[in-house]
Chain A
Amino acid sequence: MMYRLNFVMWRIRVVVQVLTVYFLWLAIFPEHGELFGYTQSSILTYTLGVVILTSFIFASRSGEIGEEINKGEISKYLVKPINYLLYQFARDMGDKVMNILFMLIEIMLIMIFLHPPFLIQSNPLLLLFTIFSVCIAIFINYCINVLLGFMGFWTPEVWAPRFIYFIIQNFFTGFLFPLDILPSGVTYGLSLLPFPYLLYFPLKIYLGQLSAFEILMGFTVSLLWCMGLFYLVHIFWLKGLRTYGAEGQ
């Protein structure tokens, strides 16, 4: 009962965070006309899209890797004939399924009570690109979580970098606001980092607000980050295992 309540609390948190932003946009954006290149319906669609994609992308158990390493609990996985990283990824997917189920209920309740002007994308190609970008986002977030967890091989203080990543998640992924409301130089600089490809890029594709060139560039950068992060995961996993002392076991 306690853990289920904890989970429900987490889902309520996501909804409260998004509702705060939702009402802010509702107050600021005119019912007719545009602001920052967004209409009221597109910005509200973006905000609700954040609720939907958060369940797909940020719902994860791989944040526990650091603690498992510190407590020596990964030893039981190392002696088994399974790939630890694949196991963690599979565990993540299971966690996402549960979060998606609850997300669907939340979206239904928001639709019933608030009647938001949600834009439905009818272009099948853009929908396909959105799904593909979400898959990339899931992989990037998984790699970042794993790398942060690997710090447990070298330090017991795993919460501090995780906390900084939490702040980055809020500011630079498009969670609180679309990144293109920032000055163009800042938006361009951020587009070279992996964070905008977690939420902002998939939602911009869905809203049909990116040109073909911008979509291509976005996929190129995000796939490069996928390869780079995967390589780093592989390197640090091997280095970490050499120093692993299985303390506590």
Chain B
Amino acid sequence: MAHYIRVYTTLLHMNFSLLLAYRGNFINSLISSLGWAIFSIVMVYLLTERAPVVYGWTRNDFFIFTGVYNVFVGIFHLLFSRNFGRFSEVIHFGYLDSLLIKPIDSQFLLSFWHIDYTSIFRIILGGVFTAYMLSLNNTPITFSLFILFLFLGCISLILLYSIWYIMVTLMIWFTNLSNLTGLLYDITSLARYPQDIFQKAPTVLFVILFPLTLVITLPVNVLLHRGSMQHIVFFVFISFALFVISRIFWQFALRFYTSASS
């Protein structure tokens, strides 16, 4: 465990140096990151101007939901997005060879090699906005509620990471599936709205998307004192189950990795 912490600390320093070296990329990423955050807030403002309650969600609830979504997505982009984005390249050009021969778990290296520091600004913006809206809403937040919210946030992160990792593992067989990460971004964006929005979706579609729709909805429901224990237990179970499946599937897929004469 200490070994992994040391390696991750080195990766943090390495990525910070890259950030300072490529300032143009930093500016582009920052504009994009903050742009999407601001757009999501403006979108909710416009939509709820004349539709103040949607399936039991008031305008302030929507704002809190959007703030939490931005924090969550910010953390996901900070830790994982760039790594998933380069999966196709790593596998297609055989760079995976150099990771497999290292005395460290390959899934760890692939998942944590790059860190997108610009997402920190999105996290701060989302966090401040959420805190502001909670105070405006007069929502009482106890310490235990906050800890439960953080716990569910971590579970959401594990769920999303596992779904992404299972999908990108398919690139071992289909190395040129560069559009797969784009598709995953679009599917993840379903979590941008409360689960109740998708009530009218066909049952098959709703069942497939159900875990994704809970990613933000469940932690926010807990924050707004509307959490269901049944959903929480199901959510924790499915997250850990998918994480275990992602590990097993990755180890299975590596048997079929054929390199690229690196």
Question: Which of these, A3, A157, A171, A177, contacts B176 with CB under 8 Å?
Answer: A3
B28 nearest CB neighbor, chain A only: A160
A14 nearest CB neighbor, chain B only: B186
Interface check B10, CB cutoff 8 A: no
Interface check A13, CB cutoff 8 A: yes
Asked if A27 contacts B182 (CB within 8 A), the reply is no
Question: Which of these, B176, B177, B200, contacts A26 with CB under 8 Å?
Answer: B200
Interface check B135, CB cutoff 8 A: no
Interface check A28, CB cutoff 8 A: yes
CB-CB under 8 A for A27 and B50, given A5-B174, A12-B183, A157-B24: no
Tell me the residues in window 156-202 of chain A with beta carbons closer than 8 Å to chain B beta carbons: 157, 160, 163-164, 167, 171, 176-177, 181-182
Asked if A6 contacts B178 (CB within 8 A), the reply is yes
Flag the segment in A15-23, A79-87, A138-146, A226-234 that touches B: A15-23
- Residues of A contacting B: mostly: helix
Asked if A27 contacts B197 (CB within 8 A), the reply is yes
Interface check A113, CB cutoff 8 A: yes
Asked if A6 contacts B193 (CB within 8 A), the reply is no
**Least Cβ–Cβ distance between A44 and chain B, in angstroms:** 11
Q: Complex formed: what's the CA distance from A182 to B51 in Å?
A: 15
CB-CB under 8 A for A13 and B51, given A2-B174, A114-B202, A163-B28: no
Interface check B101, CB cutoff 8 A: no
Interface check A36, CB cutoff 8 A: yes
Interface string of A115-142 (1 = CB under 8 A from B): 0000000000000000000000000000
Asked if A9 contacts B177 (CB within 8 A), the reply is yes
Question: Which of these, A3, A27, A163, contacts B196 with CB under 8 Å?
Answer: A27
- What residues on A are CB-neighbors of B180 within 8 Å? 9
Interface check B2, CB cutoff 8 A: no
Asked if B183 contacts A20 (CB within 8 A), the reply is no
Asked if A27 contacts B39 (CB within 8 A), the reply is no
**Least Cβ–Cβ distance between A16 and chain B, in angstroms:** 4
B55 nearest CB neighbor, chain A only: A27
Asked if B51 contacts A28 (CB within 8 A), the reply is yes
Question: Which of these, B24, B25, B190, contacts A20 with CB under 8 Å?
Answer: B190
Q: Which of B51, B174, B175, B179 has the most CB of A within 10 A?
A: B179
Interface check B95, CB cutoff 8 A: no
**Least Cβ–Cβ distance between B197 and chain A, in angstroms:** 5
CB-CB under 8 A for A2 and B46, given A9-B182, A23-B198: no
CB-CB under 8 A for A10 and B179, given A20-B193, A28-B47: yes
Asked if A167 contacts B179 (CB within 8 A), the reply is no
- What residues on B are CB-neighbors of A28 within 8 Å? 47, 51, 54
Q: Complex formed: what's the CA distance from A20 to B196 in Å?
A: 13
Interface check A105, CB cutoff 8 A: no
Q: Complex formed: what's the CA distance from A176 to B47 in Å?
A: 12
- What residues on A are CB-neighbors of B54 within 8 Å? 27-28
Tell me the residues in window 1-57 of chain A with beta carbons closer than 8 Å to chain B beta carbons: 1-3, 5-7, 9-10, 12-13, 16-17, 19-20, 23-24, 26-29, 35-36
B92 nearest CB neighbor, chain A only: A2
Interface check B32, CB cutoff 8 A: yes
CB-CB under 8 A for A167 and B193, given A13-B182, A27-B200, A28-B54: no
Question: Which of these, B24, B178, B186, B193, contacts A17 with CB under 8 Å?
Answer: B186
- What residues on B are CB-neighbors of A13 within 8 Å? 179, 182-183, 186
**Least Cβ–Cβ distance between B152 and chain A, in angstroms:** 23
Tell me the residues in window 184-240 of chain B with beta carbons closer than 8 Å to chain A beta carbons: 186-187, 189-190, 192-193, 196-202, 205
Asked if A113 contacts B190 (CB within 8 A), the reply is no
Tell me the residues in window 147-187 of chain B with beta carbons closer than 8 Å to chain A beta carbons: 174-180, 182-183, 186-187
Q: Complex formed: what's the CA distance from A35 to B198 in Å?
A: 20
Question: Which of these, B36, B46, B55, contacts A182 with CB under 8 Å?
Answer: B46
Q: A23-B201, A28-B51, A36-B50 are in contact. List 8 more A-B contacts (CB 8 A).
A: A2-B177, A9-B183, A13-B179, A13-B182, A13-B183, A23-B200, A114-B202, A181-B46
| 19 A-B pairs with C-beta separation under 8 A | A2-B177, A6-B179, A10-B182, A13-B186, A16-B186, A20-B189, A23-B198, A24-B47, A24-B197, A27-B196, A27-B199, A27-B200, A28-B47, A160-B25, A163-B28, A167-B32, A167-B36, A176-B43, A181-B47
Interface residues of A (CB under 8 A from B): 1-3, 5-7, 9-10, 12-13, 16-17, 19-20, 23-24, 26-29, 35-36, 113-114, 157, 160, 163-164, 167, 171, 176-177, 181-182
Interface residues of B (CB under 8 A from A): 24-25, 28, 31-32, 35-36, 39, 43, 46-47, 50-51, 54-55, 174-180, 182-183, 186-187, 189-190, 192-193, 196-202, 205
* The 3 residue pairs across chains A and B that have the minimum distance between CB atoms: A9-B179, A2-B176, A16-B186
